[in-house]
Structures are given as structure tokens and as C-alpha cells.
Structure 1
Amino acid sequence: MDRAEPSKNIIRGFRAFDRLLEQYPQFQGKVKFIAFLVPTRTHLRPYQRYTEEVTQLIEAINKKYGTEEWHPIDFFYENNYIQAIAGMRLYDVLLVNAVIDGMNLVAKEGPTVNNRNGVLILSETIG
């Protein structure tokens, strides 16, 4: 759950998930990365390219590991507050890995509303 912008380091999170599935194949078909990304600065070409790169990486990972019954990544690209809150309530692991961030609200809101004893993985560069 984050804005689709380079400073949020989204691609690195997907690459880490790819590596997890590669190194631990027993998780294939059993885990799911649900990504809620909010469009931002969509009129700027660098942000458009970044979103394209994110989408291409998701498609590649889904193709590499997915089956007819299971896709490793579900991707939602919209500004949907209710959906974001639902995701925060139900996560098992919340990844917040911005390159640098002052006060990341997702890192505060997620654990506050989570109902499943979810784990927060937080970048060391977030205030």
C-alpha cells in the first residue's frame, strides 16, 4: 500500500518476493503478494515509466511462477481507501521499504488496524 513513485522502492520489494519464490519453492502456490498502489503524478513521464516498469515486473513474476489456479502477485492500481484499509486489516506481512521517508503513515496505520498479528517489515531509512 503506497504511492506508485520511485522513492517508495516498490520494484525492490517485488524483486525480493521473486527471490523468495526462487530460493524457497515450497512457498509457490501458498503465499501471495497483494500490492495496492495509488497513482500519483500520472501526467509526468518518469512516473509513467516507473509504473510501466512495475507492471512489467509483476507480469514477469506471475508468468514465471504462476499457474492456472494461482498467481503470486495481485496488483491493484487505484486510489481506493476502503480497499487499502481492508488490506491493512488482513495482512500477514506488511512491507514498507521506501528509499527514504520522513514519517511513513502506512507503517503506522497498518499495525494499528491489523487484525491478524501481522508483521511489519520496515526499511531502515524510514523515520
Structure 2
Amino acid sequence: MSENHTKPEEHRSGGEGARVRPATVVALRGEIDLLTAPGLAARLDTLTSRPHPDLVLDLRPVAFIDCTGLGVLCRTRNRARARQGRLRLVADSEEFLRLLRTTGLGGAFDVQPGLPAPVVEALVPAGAPGEGAA
């Protein structure tokens, strides 16, 4: 799992005077299943523990995701929303999109085929000077 922090992106959840928060991009690889879900859930819980989390999960390199993995995504979405934040998924796999539709989660996530333009423009490599690991 690799993680990049972006420069602040405007996040309007509170109207006038809304705070500017950085987006965190997490690229997931391999499989998200019963064996890997606990560690991933713990990391995503940490990333969604702050107020107004803005999390982008890049799932394009993920080869497999099972119902346990979907549960982790749902939990992460719920935690982000409970803290007035957001979760965006980046996925271009027709198989994954079909899985979301089949399980009734087709409209539950903000799914995009590529990284959002403001996030791509603002990506800072992990470990860059001035950027701490979350």
C-alpha cells in the first residue's frame, strides 16, 4: 500500500468559511480479502480518524476483492461520512464495477475511472520534505 498526500483541496461541507483539507491518496495492490482486510482496515481507520478526512483509494492495481474487502470499503466510507469527510474510489475494472452493482453498492461510492484532476496536479511523493506520513 502506498500513500501520497496532496496539497490542500477545497472541501465544502460547512458553507462559508469551509476549511481547506489535504486529500490523501492510497494506492492498493494485490488482493483485498479475509487475510489482508484486518491490516487494511486498521490503516484506513487511522486515515479516517481525523475530522473531514478526504481519502482517495486507487483500486486499479487490485487483482481481487472479496466480500470482506467490500466490508472494509463500506466501513471506510461510513467513517469518512461520520466525520463530514469523503471517500473516493478510483477503479476502471468492469469486474469490480459489476461486483458493486451485483451487491447493491453501485450507488454507494463515488467511483471514478482515474485520479481526480486536482489530486493528480497536487500529488506529492510519499516522504517528500515537509510531508509526514499519516
Bin of the TM-score, shorter chain as denominator length: 0.3 to 0.5
TM-score scaled to structure 1, two decimals?
Answer: 0.44
**Structure with the higher helix share, 1 or 2:** 1
TM-score scaled to structure 2, two decimals?
Answer: 0.42
